[in-house]
Amino acid sequence: MASETSSGGPGQNVLQRWAERSIRNPERVYRAMFYVAAVFFLFTTLFPFYWLVVLAVTPNDLIVNMGLAPRGFNVEAFVTLFERLPLHRYMLNSFIIAMITTCIVLVLGSLAGYAFGRIEFKGRRPLMLAVLAVSYFPPAAFLLPLFRLFTGNVSLFGVSSPVVFNTPGALVTPMTALFMPLSIFILTTFYSQIPDGLEDAARVEGTTRLGALFRVIVPLSAPGVATAGIMTFISVYNEFFFSFMMTDGQVSNWAPIVFGILGYQGQYSQFYNLMAAASIVGVLPVVILVIVAQERIVSGLTSGALKE
């Protein structure tokens, strides 16, 4: 840097002064490094979204060999995409499946979370570990038996299993099992922190055991319940494996958003602007959820790993 600054000029003087001050006070260098890093991370995070917008607003015939800037501005793709495939219905299917799963996970997870968090009982730790361990197995290891179960190919005492393939049940059940453990973990942590006195007071006043759980413990743990709910909803909406394997991809057969997006790639493989526009539409709900509920998500992500 010294050789550069020797040539003089006002620009170099600024640099020189900055360098001199930095040597005297290294904090300035750290501050500068910090800003460079922050800008770098913001850029790498947001650039892919910028690219989606560029593709979505560029008319498709101008997309070939385009650079980094949009060519023209045309929001028609956001209308056309719904004419080609009913993306809104795929998204609605995903929403319904995610809502049902979230409700089941919260109710059953609350019961188990109460037991694990507030009752000392024999076999508590091994049971909890067994439940937690499930979520780490690959979905592929459950696929084969579940697929045969859901297509009515498994029989117990001569009664074959009901056919739930192509219904919400085929997606809700495996995802409930897959995402239940994290919620139980979050709820257990929150429920165990409620002081015993509050529950005892409610019980003395004549509340039943379950009443105390749902009228005292759950409301007092509202942030924890919200965290578990939001984490489950996002996880189901984002899931790929079971979404891909457990329906035949027809929108009338409860195919979720995975098939909506893949549909543009498969059937309209030359319409890159539609793929980009569909991706933007599909990602909006979760982006809004992140902006609104980031505190809860951060707490959910970290409690899953650190509250051991």
Partner 1 sequence: MILNYLSPVVSPVTYRIERLSPTQFAYLLVLPVLLIMSVVAFWPLLRTFEISLHSDQLTGATAVGEFVGLRNYVALFSGDRAAVMPQPFLNVEEPLSSSLIVTFLFAIVSVAIETVLGFGQAIVLDQDFRGRRWVRTAILIPWAVPIVIQGMIFFLMFSPGIGFAVEPLHQLGLFSLTPLNDTGSSLAIIVVADVWKTTPFMALLILAGLQSIDRQLYDVARMSGASRWQQFKTITFPLVLPSVLVAMLFRSIAALRVFGLIETVSSCSTVPSLSCMVVSTFNSQRFGTSAAIAFVTAGVIGIAVSIYIAKFARSERGAV
Q: Considering only residues 280-299, where is the footprint of partner 1 by CB under 8 A? A: 282-283, 286-287, 289-291, 294, 297-298
Which listed range, 4-12, 13-21, 51-59, 75-83, lies at the site for partner 1 (CB under 8 A)?
51-59
Instruction: Give the nearest distance from C-beta 37 to partner 1 in angstroms.
Output: 5
Instruction: Give the nearest distance from C-beta 112 to partner 1 in angstroms.
Output: 4
Instruction: Give the nearest distance from C-beta 83 to partner 1 in angstroms.
Output: 19
Which residue, 62, 61, 60, 65, is CA-closest to 77? 60
DSSP secondary structure of the chain: -HHHHTT--HHHHHHHHHHHHHHH-THHHHHHHHHHHHHHHHHHHHHHHHHHHHHHHS-GGG-TT--SS-SS--TTHHHHHHHHS-HHHHHHHHHHHHHHHHHHHHHHHHHHHHHHHH---TTHHHHHHHHHHHTTS-THHHHHHHHHHHBT--EETTEEPPB-TTSHHHHHHHHHHHHHHHHHHHHHHHHHTS-HHHHHHHHHTT--HHHHIIIIIHHHTHHHHHHHHHHHHHHHHH--HHHHHSS-S-GGGT--HHHHHHHHHHHTTT-HHHHHHHHHHHHHHHHHHHHHHHHHHHHHHHHHHH--
Do the beta carbons of residue 19 and residue 1 sit within 8 Å?
A: yes
Closer residue to partner 1 in complex, CB, 5/174: 174
Closer residue to partner 1 in complex, CB, 220/283: 283
Which listed range, 16-24, 49-57, 73-81, 186-194, lies at the site for partner 1 (CB under 8 A)?
49-57
Decide: is 112 part of the binding site for partner 1 (CB under 8 A). Answer: yes
> Tokens 């529950």 identify what position?
199
Closer residue to partner 1 in complex, CB, 2/141: 141
Do the beta carbons of residue 93 and residue 256 sit within 8 Å?
A: yes
Looking at residues 183 to 212 of the shown chain, list those that interact with partner 1 (rule: CB under 8 A): 184, 204, 206, 208-210
Binding mask 132-171 vs partner 1 (x if CB under 8 A, - otherwise)?
-xx-xxxxxxxxxxxxxx---x------------------
Candidates 2, 79, 159, 305; binder of partner 1 (CB under 8 A) is 305
Closer residue to partner 1 in complex, CB, 15/71: 71
Candidates 1, 2, 24, 67; binder of partner 1 (CB under 8 A) is 67
Closer residue to partner 1 in complex, CB, 38/222: 38
Instruction: Give the nearest distance from C-beta 306 to partner 1 in angstroms.
Output: 5
Looking at residues 223 to 262 of the shown chain, list those that interact with partner 1 (rule: CB under 8 A): 234, 237-241, 244-245, 257-258, 261-262
Instruction: Give the nearest distance from C-beta 18 to partner 1 in angstroms.
Output: 19
Looking at residues 8 to 27 of the shown chain, list those that interact with partner 1 (rule: CB under 8 A): 26
